[in-house]
Amino acid sequence: MNSLLSIQKLNPLNAEIISPAPLKIINDNKGRSIFLNSTKSINTFAILEIIPGAEIRGNHYHLHKSETMYIIDGKVTLYYWLPDKSEVEETLVESGHLITIKPGLGHAYKAINKTLAFEMGTHPYNPADTIYDYRMMAEI
C-alpha cells in the first residue's frame, strides 16, 4: 500500500515540492503564501473544509485520478485501504503535510479539529471515476 500513498511534512519556511505541480510555500512576517507555479499537470483543484463531528469525508477511491492534498491548517485522521482487503489503516496528518493518493487506494478523512486543505488532481472531476466504498468504513 505504501506505493499508493505518500505523506510528506513540508518545512513551513520556504518549502518547495513537485507533485503534481511545483508547490512553493513562503511563511514570513506578512503571513503564509502558497504558490502553484504551474498547472500543466493539474486538472482538478478543490478547497476542502473538514469539520469535527461531521460525517467522515471521502469513503471512496478513484479508478484513474491521483490526488495530492496539502493541509493548510488543522489536523485529521486519514483512513486508507485497498478495496479488495478488509484492513483499514490510519494515520494523523496536520498542517504542513502533503498527501498524495494514487488511483485504487480507498481513503477518508475525519477531522480532529477544523481543517482547511486544498486538493489537486491529475484528472478532471468525474463522478464515474469515484467509487464509494462505505463497506470499508463501517468500523470507523
User: Residue 122 — pLDDT band, cuts 50, 70, 90?
Assistant: confident
Average pLDDT over residues 123-133: 89
**Residue ranges per structural domain of the chain:** 2-137
User: Residue 17 — pLDDT band, cuts 50, 70, 90?
Assistant: low
Contact 114, 52 (CB under 8 A): yes
pLDDT digits (tens, 9 = 90+) for 90-117: 999 999 888 989 999 999 999 999 999 9
Residue 19 confidence (pLDDT): 52
Q: Which residue has the higher pLDDT, 78 or 122?
A: 78
Res. 139: pLDDT tops 80: no
- Report the 10 Å Cβ neighbour count for 20: 19
pLDDT digits (tens, 9 = 90+) for 28-71: 787 777 766 555 677 788 889 999 988 888 899 999 988 888 89
Strand 22-28: give its sheet, edge to edge.
15-18, 22-28, 31-36
Contacts of 82 (CB under 8 A, 6+ apart): 1, 4, 104, 105, 106
Instruction: State residue 120 phi and psi, 5-degree precision.
Output: -120, 140
User: Residue 13 — pLDDT band, cuts 50, 70, 90?
Assistant: very low
Residue 121 confidence (pLDDT): 83
Q: Which CATH number fits domain 2-137: 2.60.120.10, 3.40.50.720, 3.30.300.130, 3.30.70.1380?
A: 2.60.120.10
C-alpha cell at 6: 505518500
